[in-house]
Chain A
């Protein structure tokens, strides 16, 4: 039962990925007859004959000189070999190499934001649920009411202004040496932590409040369940009930929410990386957008979507493993 569900779920994820892949292939082709026009828009001072030659060169360089279905097959074939296409930048670097260069830097931010957000969020949420209605709880409620309405990039600007420029506690712009001089030694790692402090902090604030609120609601929902009453009636100690009965069951909705929040985290990080000039995929994406570098943009999109699909798949499977009550099949 469980195994067949897992296989089905994996196949479905592959299906979604194929559709995303197709979208990735077709979006740059919306509204133009010849993809070469999109990749190389006509310049003002160019005669038609010159433009025709340039288009021909573009077609050859980026493989547009074959029919569209053949292009799609080439694209898919390339993907299987880990080839995301050729970037538009000078020197025509492969999209994959550009991304792989930036990926670790993005992961540093998102993974630490996520872990710290989860740890603090769950801690605060549990405290609020235990002290329901007291100041701890109302503070969380008020904080989340305010935090919900503050966009992450505004928080980032404020932090960058006060902690970065005014108090000069953390660097407001990422030190370029962080990337160029990186090595596995103490000074380099400390420099990364120092530079990552503000971006992580500004993304973390929102996610802490979100996870805390979610945890609080989940814990309270579980506290109202009959089996907690039973446990109390059996005379179990409060701490046993708290950690073995309540918390374990309350973790389930939080686990699923992690998968979903990844997509939002990635989206928001684009802006944060831009503010702090962080050398990650977000800034790479914006650079690509400014240069109309479609292969690079679509490559990043595909990779991010792939990550999200994977994260949702993993959390879904973990959910089934954790909760034996889930009747597999009706979740879709």
Chain B
């Protein structure tokens, strides 16, 4: 057990260096710069929300400030029914979106890579079981499934994140599996096998490093996808009822008569919030994809992953497996040489 923890720890420590180098590569792209800057900005807003927001967004006490259009005191106006300051709500809403999106994205990367590597490397019954599970999750429409599960399991913050992870890992694990199938036959893995390394050791030290760039891409893209899904869920009034989120703001705007009374600021503001967050993470994902696969300047794969978290993006992102095998092998070979 100790050895296992140690090797996992060493893996992440070494990856951390790699990730720093990788962020530099993303920064080198113009698109990457935009994405990284926007994400940093959003993180700062989320962390320092109480200092940035001029009013208390939870304060729904009877006010005289109902339905004010944007002005210097209320930058984005106020709500019609409760007179809450929309700018403050927008600032606080960043927290929910970022936490749900990023933590689901990271967890999806972990679950997807573990299951994908297992399916690809161990093969046999494990492989067919995991892949059949993917096929089943793929055909069940995502949003209705999320709604049913929140109904059965509850609507707490963490439960919602876990539900997103339980449904969202499928596409990534498929992609990782097909990459692993190629890596499995590469010379350095063969060499490790021949020198008597255990399966676990090979999976952690030789196969997993080869997929790490893919994991960064997946984290960015699935975070973006989950943010939209969370907004949709909150919009339907099925998110965490105690939190202020952008989706919930839109729902309040619709039910509070923003459409009817022409309070355009109440609709536009949360929409811009969602757009910014999603756009930022998408940019990073797209740049990483370009680094991975320079030949595809614009990818249809990204669009699909995003529109439907479950869709199989194997075929699209990895149109040409051999090209990726080369990239994978190159980066793993580097990882192997270091270790």
Contact = CB atoms under 8 A, between A and B. Distances in A.
A16 B135 contact: yes
Contacts of B132: 15-16, 19
A154 B271 contact: yes
A148 B303 contact: yes
Contacts of B306: 148
Contact of B138 (A38, A150, A214, A263): A263
Contacts of B322: none
Contacts of B143: 267-268, 270-271
Contacts of B271: 150, 154, 157-158
Contact of A157 (B267, B278, B296): B267
A149 B34 CA distance: 14
Contacts of A154: 250, 271, 274-275
A144 interface: yes
From A30, A161, A165, A274, residue with most partner B Cβ within 10 Å? A161
Contacts of A261: 304, 307-308, 311
Contacts of B111: none
A260 B136 contact: no
Contact of B308 (A16, A151, A267, A271): A267
Interface in A13-61: 15-16, 19-20, 23, 27-28, 30-31, 38
Interface residues of A, number: 65
A120 to B, nearest CB: 16
A210 B311 contact: no
B160 to A, nearest CB: 15
B141 A151 contact: no
A279 interface: no
Given A151-B228, A154-B274, A172-B259, A301 B138 contact: no
A304 B144 contact: yes
Interface of A: 15-16, 19-20, 23, 27-28, 30-31, 38, 141, 144-146, 148-151, 153-154, 157-158, 160-161, 164-166, 172, 206, 209-210, 213-214, 216-218, 221, 253, 256-257, 260-261, 263-264, 266-268, 270-271, 274-275, 285-286, 289, 292, 297-298, 300-301, 304-305, 308-309, 312, 332
Given A141-B298, A149-B224, A301 B144 contact: yes
Contacts of A221: 319
A214 B317 CA distance: 12
User: What are the 6 tightest A-B residue pairs by CB atom distance, in nearest-first order?
Assistant: A264-B308, A267-B143, A149-B279, A149-B278, A214-B300, A267-B141
A260 B141 contact: no
12 contacts: A15-B132, A31-B152, A148-B303, A148-B307, A151-B231, A157-B271, A165-B262, A210-B303, A213-B298, A217-B299, A263-B311, A301-B141
A308 B141 contact: yes
Contacts of B304: 210, 257, 260-261
B232 A164 contact: no
Interface string B246-281: 000010011000111010100100010011001100
A140 B143 CA distance: 28
Interface of B: 131-132, 135-136, 138-145, 147-149, 151-153, 224, 228, 231-232, 235-236, 238, 250, 253-254, 258-260, 262, 264, 267, 271, 274-275, 278-279, 282, 296, 298-300, 302-304, 306-308, 310-312, 315-316, 319
A312 B145 contact: no
Nearest to A214: B300
A146 B272 CA distance: 11
Contacts of B136: 16, 19-20, 23
Contacts of B144: 266-267, 270, 285, 297, 300-301, 304
B145 A164 contact: no
B235 A271 contact: yes
Contacts of A300: 144
A214 B140 CA distance: 23
Given A161-B259, A298-B148, 12 more contacts: A15-B132, A145-B279, A146-B275, A151-B228, A154-B250, A154-B271, A210-B303, A260-B308, A264-B308, A270-B143, A305-B141, A309-B139
Contacts of B138: 263
Contact of B262 (A15, A30, A166, A285): A166
Given A153-B232, A154-B250, A289-B151, A267 B142 contact: yes
Contacts of B319: 221
From B132, B302, B307, residue with most partner A Cβ within 10 Å? B307
B285 to A, nearest CB: 10
Contacts of B224: 149
Contacts of B235: 153, 271
Contacts of B148: 27, 289, 297-298, 301
Contacts of A214: 300, 303
Contacts of B236: 270-271, 274, 286
